């Protein structure tokens, strides 16, 4: 039985009890995919991704989980230990657990006790309570640090902030521009090699210039790559995507229709999305304009232009999706997941 929009009316919970070990052969990655809640009471490792489409994921106390990606429609709740590249959920809650990740994208992030290590956190609200942290950037509408949070938050960008006077946080820059100015002034005199290396990965291309030793001649900036889509559409996407692509120069995309095995291996979600769209729409000639444009960029392996569509035109895409078939909707969700972009809230596209 299914409710509105194809969602199961009451998806069942799945429990992996103590002693239930899922064995992953060396060199092989598998996905753990469930519809409802997933409760992990035994340590697991070697997964490509762990997904709950309509529920939450709980990593119980004393349990260690390693997965390349983890996402849930509702909540990812960690009482044990989680190591992953990316976390996506409506809410991420860490309760005296330990999380090591590259990126977190959620409406709400709550961390109480334990340890949090992340290169970047993007959320509506972030509350960190009595935790030891090592965080590169926090980008949020509201940020609360309380009960003596300790560690490092290099950049924290928040419209509203509340920081307990007992907190002992290093960094505290409010923008990458402020940090770059600081680095330009002090550079290697006060920062050790480990921090310099982390900052090189964290910040944009301009930061690398500041972190390097001065050179006699600066390398001329490359001309921005111009993207000229072949398809126009009634949503006005063509012109805007071109501007987004110019703002974020990238290597030339693969020629349309040419299979790039290395790219497919690095972006399995985009490969799956392309296959789903091609199965339903063929060459795309008879598809709606938005599907036609997306399919075109998938065939070119043009991640920059895809990101432009799905980040700058969230509401337009969400509105068009209402008329999509289940297969096409799944393809668009896979693209969002691969790009690390959260869908718009219900009704935002109106």
Chain segment 71-111, per-residue pLDDT in tens: 999 999 999 999 999 999 999 999 999 999 999 999 999 99
pLDDT in tens, 196-231: 555 555 554 444 444 444 444 444 555 444 444 444
Nearest residue to 260 via CA among 294, 227, 299: 299
More confident residue, 236 or 263: 263
Whether the CB-CB separation of 167 and 185 falls below 8 Å is answered with no
pLDDT-based confidence at residue 257 (cuts at 50, 70, 90): low
Domain coordinates in residue numbering, the chain: 4-141, 178-211, 237-339
Q: Is the pLDDT of residue 244 over 90?
A: no
Give the C-alpha separation, 37 to 15, whole Å: 8
- Predicted confidence at residue 31, as pLDDT, reads 85
The two tokens of residue 54 are: 């309509």
CA dihedral of 124, 316, 50, 119, whole degrees rounded to 10: -40
Q: What is the pTM of this model?
A: 0.53
Nearest residue to 51 via CA among 76, 85, 25, 21: 76
Give residue 143's region: left, alpha or beta (phi > 0; psi -120 to 50). Answer: beta
């Amino acid at each position: 039985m299914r409710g509105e929009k194809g969602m199961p009316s009451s998806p069942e919970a799945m429990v992996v009890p103590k002693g239930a070990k899922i064995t992953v052969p060396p060199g092989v990655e598998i996905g753990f995919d469930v519809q409802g809640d997933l409760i992990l009471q035994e340590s697991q490792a070697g997964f490509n991704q762990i997904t709950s489409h309509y529920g939450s994921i709980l990593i119980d106390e004393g349990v260690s989980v390693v997965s390349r990606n983890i996402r849930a429609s509702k909540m990812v709740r960690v009482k044990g230990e989680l190591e992953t590249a990316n976390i996506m959920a409506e809410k991420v809650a860490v309760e005296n657990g330990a999380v090591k990740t590259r990126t977190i994208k959620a409406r709400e992030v709550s961390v109480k006790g334990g340890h949090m290590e992340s290169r970047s956190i993007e959320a509506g609200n972030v509350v960190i309570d009595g935790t030891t942290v090592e965080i590169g950037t926090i980008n949020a509408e509201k940020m609360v640090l309380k009960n003596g949070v300790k560690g490092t938050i290099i950049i924290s960008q928040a419209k509203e902030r509340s920081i307990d006077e007992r907190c002992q946080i290093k960094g505290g820059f409010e923008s990458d521009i402020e940090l770059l100015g600081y680095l330009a002034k002090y550079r290697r005199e006060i920062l050790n090699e480990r921090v310099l290396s982390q900052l090189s990965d964290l910040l944009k291309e301009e930061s690398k210039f500041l972190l390097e030793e001065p050179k006699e001649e600066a390398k001329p900036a490359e001309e921005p790559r111009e993207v000229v889509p072949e398809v126009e559409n009634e949503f006005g996407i063509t012109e805007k995507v071109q501007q987004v692509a110019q703002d974020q120069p990238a290597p030339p995309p693969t020629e349309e229709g040419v299979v790039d095995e290395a790219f497919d291996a690095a972006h399995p979600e985009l490969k799956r999305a392309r296959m789903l769209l091609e199965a339903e729409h063929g060459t795309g000639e008879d598809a709606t304009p938005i599907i036609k444009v997306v399919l075109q960029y998938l065939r070119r392996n043009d991640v920059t232009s895809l990101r432009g569509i799905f980040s700058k035109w969230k509401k337009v895409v969400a509105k068009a999706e209402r008329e999509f078939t289940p297969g096409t909707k799944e393809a668009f969700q896979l693209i969002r997941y691969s790009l690390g972009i959260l869908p718009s809230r219900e009704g935002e596209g109106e």
